[in-house]
Amino acid sequence: MHIKKFDTKTLDFILEKMVETVGSSKDEIFRIGEQCRQDYETLTEELKEIKTLVLQTIDQGDKLEIQTRFARKRLSEVSKHFNEYTEIEVREAYEKAHTLQMELGMNRHLEKQYRDRRDDIERRLVGLNETIDRADHLVTQIAVVMNYLISDLSDLKQVGEVLEDANQKQDFGLKIIGAQEEERKRLSREIHDGPAQMMANVMMRSDLVERIYKEHGADEAFREIKDLKMMVRSALYEVRRIIYDLRPMALDDLGLVPTLNKYLKTIEEYHQSTQIIFSNIGTEARLPSKYEVALFRLVQESVQNALKHAEAKVITVRLEMLRGQVIVMIKDDGKGFNKEDKKPESFGLIGMKERVQLLKGEITIDTKEGKGTIVMINVPIQN
């Protein structure tokens, strides 16, 4: 049987395209952030002018109020003693009172317009400021992803040379493609069901706030704004969680133990029906980057499996750093599974085993249907 040889140049091209696409996304987000900054500065200047106009209009209105009050008093006096004044004096008193009343009404209308414009600008400034912060955060995260693609994934360029058997090359290539498609679908689904839906609701609710303010007043509008802030906060949390799943920045800055601790707490807050217990035995010494990334991904995959497939209520993660090796245990009280059954999600377990083998370590999975699962990982550390 003839098996087509795996073309390593194709893999190189795919990786280069991935880096190019991520770089373009980073530039686009950066441009969005810069445009928002320009809009923010323009609106800030306009807000200063509007606030000045509001104060001037209020001052003018106060003066008109006094003048109108005196004019009405004069008109009342003229009307009361009509026979004591000439027709011209009566007409002048009436016209002056009427003119001042009209000017006062126009002044109050103009003041309301200025106030509405001021409030609208302040709301837009809040939204722009949040967008700028999110854009800066995303640019930073994408830079981390690019570094990961350029450094860690560069090893994949020699996959075709490392694999000796043609069948293994072909199968591995198909697994990579399948994993990429599954990850794209997962991210697309999470973004569509989470932040995208929430932001769409934010847009609709923001229009509703303006209508409520006009129809029911400031108190009702402020209550709606509070709900809106909670919705934006939830959307921001979802975005941060998705970015964190791609690669947590804290892994490079703080190391494995603090990053795992923060990640597991975040996951526990998100899945409120599941308790996650994390413990670290030994030191919190930094490990070479490839070990920290690999161990983090192994724990992440195990915990996600327990949440998605095992429906676990309690998950225990224990990390033990010894001299020359790291031992990790992930235990759950879920429904377990039959290791002999071949299911689509078993590809995740295959990926875990391959990752451990690359580190020259060992992984054992002890599970039975209805009895939970224990994953034990032992990795030797070679500096």
Residue 170 domain-assigned? no
More confident residue, 264 or 226: 264
> Of 99, 129, 162, which closes a domain?
162
Assess contact for 305 and 345: CB atoms under 8 A.
Answer: yes
pLDDT attached to residue 163: 46
Same domain, 207 and 289: no
- Domain presence at residue 323: yes
Residue 375 lies in a domain: yes
Select from 162, 195, 226 the last residue of a domain: 162
pLDDT tens, residue by residue, 113-138: 999 999 998 898 888 888 888 877 77
What's the whole-number mean pLDDT along residues 178-204? 62
Judge if pTM exceeds 0.75: no
Does residue 5 or residue 272 have the better pLDDT? 272
Asked whether residue 2 is assigned to any structural domain, the reply reads: no
Residues 6+ apart with CB under 8 A from 377: 295, 298, 326, 327, 328, 329, 330, 356, 361, 362, 363
Q: What is the CATH number of the domain that holds 95?
A: 1.10.287.2610
Q: What is the mean pLDDT of residues 162-187?
A: 54
Domain with 212, as residue range(s), is: 187-247
Its sign, for the CA torsion 149, 152, 158, 159, is negative
Within this chain, do residues 204 and 317 fall inside the same structural domain, yes or no? no
Assess whether pLDDT exceeds 90 at residue 327: yes
Q: Is the residue at 167 inside a domain?
A: no
**Confidence (pLDDT) at 93:** 84
pLDDT band at 2 (very low <50, low <70, confident <90, very high): very low
Structure tokens at 189: 């689904």
Helix, strand or coil, per DSSP, at residue 198: helix
C-alpha–C-alpha distance, residues 162 and 114, integer Å: 70
Q: What is the pLDDT of residue 329?
A: 94
The residue ranking higher by pLDDT, 99 or 215, is: 99
In the predicted structure, residue 234 carries a pLDDT above the cut 50: yes
Looking at residue 363, what is its pLDDT? 92
Residue 3 has pLDDT above 50, yes or no: no
pLDDT digits (tens, 9 = 90+) for 46-98: 889 989 998 999 999 899 899 988 888 888 888 887 778 788 888 888 888 88
At residue 10 the predicted structure's pLDDT band, cuts being 50, 70 and 90, is low
pLDDT confidence bin for 375, thresholds 50/70/90: very high
Can you state the angle between helices 256-270 and 218-246, rounded to 10 degrees?
A: 130
Q: Could you give the percent of the chain with pLDDT greater than 70?
A: 72
Same domain for 16 and 71, yes or no, is: yes
Structural contact between residues 369 and 358, judged by C-beta atoms closer than 8 angstroms:
no
Number of domains the chain contains: 3
Q: Say if residue 360 is in the same domain as residue 307.
A: yes
Tell whether the model's pLDDT for residue 381 goes beyond 80.
Answer: yes
pLDDT one-digit tens code per residue, 12-42: 666 677 767 777 777 777 788 788 888 888 8
Chain-wide mean pLDDT for the chain?
A: 77
